[in-house]
Each structure stands twice: as C-alpha cells, then as structure tokens.
Amino acid sequence: MSQEDGGSDPSFEDRLKTARSKQGLDAPPKQPLNEQGALSGSPWGIGARVGVELVSALVVAVAIGYGLDRIFHTTPILTAVFVPLGGAAGVANLWRLFAPKS
Amino acid sequence: MAAEGSNSIDALGQFQLHTTLGAVGASVNFTQSNLMMVVAGAAVLAFLYLGMRPRAMVPGRLQSAAEMGYETIMSMCTETIGGHEGRKFFPFVFTLFFFILFGNLLGVFPLFFTFTSHIMVTLALSLTVFILVTVVGLKEHGLHWFSYFVPQGIPVALAPLMVLIEFISYLSRIISLSVRLFANMMAGHVMLEVFGSFIVMLGGLGLLGYFPAALSLGVNTLLIGFELLVATLQAYVFAILTCIYLHDAVHLH
C-alpha cells in the first residue's frame, strides 16, 4: 500500500483511514509472506508439490546419466550412478521446502 | 470434438495444434496457441490501459483490479526478493504473472485454447526464468556464486557428493517449474473434456442416462470454478517461485 503514493494528500489519507476504521473495512494486518506458507495450502497441494519435486530431480539425474553414458560409451554405469543422486537431490529439494526455518 | 466416434472419449485431441489465419498463418506455422498468446498479451495490455485510464482517486472496478494486481506483485517482489532488488525485477515478474494468468484464464472459455497446457510453452517460460536467475547470480556475485552449490557446514569429504546433488537439485528447477504449470492446466482440461463427453454419451442413452448426465453437468460446472482457482493459483505459484529463485540468486545462502 505504502509504495509510492507520495503525491496524495496526507489529510485525505487520514480521513480515509478514520472512515474505513469506522466502517470496519480495514483488513486484518497482513501476515508476512512465508515462502512455504504461501505455497502449501491444502494437503493435496503439498502432495502434488512433493511428487513434482521428487520426480523432476530424478528426471534431471537420469537425463544427465544417460547423456554422459552416450558420450563416454559406458552405457549402464553412469545412469546407475546418477539415479541415487537424483533421488538424493529430490529429497534435498523437499528438505529445502519443508525444513523448519531457523 | 468430444465423443465423435460415439464410444470413445478423445480427451487429448483438444491439445492438438493447427494453423490459423488461413494461408498466411499456414505459411509461417502460426498456430492457435500462438494466436492465444497474442490475444493474452493484448488482453493484459488492454486490461492495464483501460483500467488505469480514468486515474480516479476512488477507483472503479477495473482500476481497482489493475491496482491490486500491481500491488500484489510489487509486495511479492519486495517481500520475497528484498526491497531494492525486488523493485528491479518487478517488471519481469509482473509480465510473467499476467501472461500466465491470462493464458490460464482465457483457456477456461469455450473454443479458446490454453497455451499453458503445452509443456513446450511452460518449459520455455521456466528456461527463461532459469537462465535469468543464473545470469543474475553470476552478475551479482561473480565466480563466488558457485559457492551456492556447497551447502554450509558440511564435512569436506562429503563436499563432492553434495555439490553434485545440489547441482542436480538446481537443474531440477526447470523441470519442476514447468511441469507444475503444464500438468495442472492439462489435467484440468482433460477432466473437463471427459465429463463433457459423459454428458453427451449418457444423454444419448435415453431415459436411464438423464440423471447421470445431469450429474456430469454438475461436476463440470464445479470443475469450471475449480479451474478458475487453479488458473490463478498456478500463475501465482509460478510468479512466487520465480521470486524465491531470484532471492536465492541475489542473496547467496
């Protein structure tokens, strides 16, 4: 609200505020935008996010492993190495999402 | 399109691209998806221009909507990215949010195409964000930015492993950002199509089918409302995740 409305008349702002509070129109004080709280609404939303984060990390890891295998002709080895890494990265993603804020 | 072959539901046919605008469009492969992007862009411009034209002290409905959009994104930027930097990235996040929002919302209307239901489009958007975030990080911190991949307070022996994991995690943002938007939009439209086909197929069944057909119509009505929610929410999520990523790029750790 208080971004850049510097040009407006302060007395008008005051009058508006008193009028609003008299009518009970003022919204309750806004909660600070929590990075997770803003995203995680329903349990369904959380579930969808968990799935997407886990799978996307795995997809990237498999793509890297497969690509490197194609380059170095070591076909199954690097893919097999990168799959657990991808799983770990997925869990790291989740940790970053749901870790308690210190 | 639905239930043309009487007994099969062609739920994915709605996502097929075809060229529009006659021979001119066909010669440059201008598809209905491109057309909707242009329409969405024009709609955003019209919304902001017509909304802000009265410049009234006490805003009307459209002006209120435009101002609320501005203030929401501005506070999202300043609170998530941080005061000064947030303002710098405001135009980008604002454009991104409104482009996706209008794309999603226009897709709910009948006969309109949802361009965000194609992974190619969302992937391009998320790649833009990803490249921007990386460039911003490199520009702000130089080579020191690479310390982002080394989490604080880990044993030295684990560092190579953690760097690899963090790198994969960083790259996975492209996929998760794009798939979230694409999957939500596509799933919603497939559901709409399936229940829409149910109405036609069950309605054609005669007296026995009227009740389930009416039920499907009710479900579809609810789904439209749900789609409006998802359309707004996903645009918001895309924008705020962009902000969070930009915050990570500007403030290391």
Nearest 5°: CA angle at A90, between A84 and A93? 145
What is d(CA B58, CA B216) in angstroms, rounded to the nearest whole number?
A: 44
Contact B99, B41 (CB under 8 A): yes
B171: chain A residues, CB-CB within 8 Å: 60, 64
Higher pLDDT, B101 or A33: B101
Nearest chain B Cα distance for residue A88, angstroms: 7
Nearest to B146 by CA among B158, B156, B159: B159
Given a cut of 50, whether residue A30 has pLDDT beyond it is no
Instruction: Average the pLDDT over A32-38 and give the result.
Output: 44
CB neighbourhood size of A45 (10 A): 13
Q: Is residue B1 part of a domain?
A: no
Contact B33, B15 (CB under 8 A): no
Q: Is residue B5 part of a domain?
A: no
Of B169, B174, B240, the CB nearest to A89: B169
A56: chain B residues, CB-CB within 8 Å: 172-176, 179
pLDDT for position B46: 92
Given a cut of 70, whether residue A36 has pLDDT beyond it is no
Contact B101, B231 (CB under 8 A): yes
What is d(CA B30, CA A75) in angstroms, rounded to the nearest whole number?
A: 41
B240: chain A residues, CB-CB within 8 Å: 35, 38-39
pLDDT for position B148: 82
A89: chain B residues, CB-CB within 8 Å: 165-166, 168-169, 172
Q: Is residue B245 part of a domain?
A: yes
Q: Is residue B148 part of a domain?
A: yes
Q: Is B19 helix (H, G, I), strand (E, B) or coil?
A: strand
- 10-residue averages of pLDDT along chain B (253 residues): 57 79 80 89 92 82 88 88 84 92 90 88 93 91 84 83 89 90 90 88 82 89 91 90 89 76
Of A12, A38, A57, the CB nearest to B172: A57
Contact B100, B238 (CB under 8 A): yes
**pLDDT band at A32; cut points 50, 70, 90:** very low
Q: What is the number of domains present in chain B?
A: 1
A8, A53, A56, A62: which to substitute to probe chain B, counting the most B Cβ within 10 Å? A56
Q: Is B2 on the interface with A (CB under 8 A)?
A: no
Helix ranges restricted to H, B118-158: 119-141
Q: Is residue B4 part of a domain?
A: no
Q: Is residue B219 part of a domain?
A: yes
pLDDT for position A31: 45
Tally A–B CB contacts below 8 A. 71
Torsion angle defined by CA atoms of residues B99, B236, A30 and A53, in that order, rounded to the nearest 10 degrees: -150
Q: Which two tokens stand for residue A102?
A: 């210190």
pLDDT for position B207: 82
Q: Is residue B3 part of a domain?
A: no
What is d(CA B104, CA B181) in angstroms, rounded to the nearest whole number?
A: 10
B123, B168, B230, B245: which to substitute to probe chain A, counting the most A Cβ within 10 Å? B168
What is d(CA B47, CA B67) in angstroms, rounded to the nearest whole number?
A: 11
Contact B176, A56 (CB under 8 A): yes
pLDDT for position B128: 93
Residue B151: which domain range? 13-251
Mean pLDDT, all residues of chain A:
76
What B9-16 contacts at long range (C-beta under 8 Å, 24+ apart), as own/partner pairs, is B9/B193, B9/B194, B9/B197, B9/B201, B10/B193, B10/B197, B11/B190, B11/B193, B11/B194, B11/B197, B12/B190, B14/B113, B14/B189, B14/B193, B15/B117, B15/B118, B15/B186, B15/B189
Burial A51-89 (b: 16+ CB within 10 A, else e): ebbbbbbbbbbebbbeeebeeeeeeeebbebbeebbbbb
Given a cut of 60, whether residue A58 has pLDDT beyond it is yes
DSSP label of A30: P
Least confident range from A13-27, A79-93, B80-94: namely A13-27
CB contact under 8 A, A89 and B183: no
pLDDT for position A57: 92
pLDDT for position B6: 54
Given a cut of 60, whether residue A33 has pLDDT beyond it is no
Please give the ipTM for the structure prediction: 0.72
Q: What amino acid is encoded at B158 in this protein?
A: L
Rounded-to-5 percentages of helix, strand, coil across chain A: 65, 0, 35
**A contact residues 12-71, partner B, Cβ 8 Å cutoff:** 12, 32-33, 35, 38-39, 41, 48-49, 52-53, 55-57, 59-61, 64
pTM of the predicted model over 0.90: no
CB under 8 Å to B74, separation ≥6 — which residues? A3, B86, B87, B90
pLDDT for position B1: 44
Q: Is residue B223 part of a domain?
A: yes
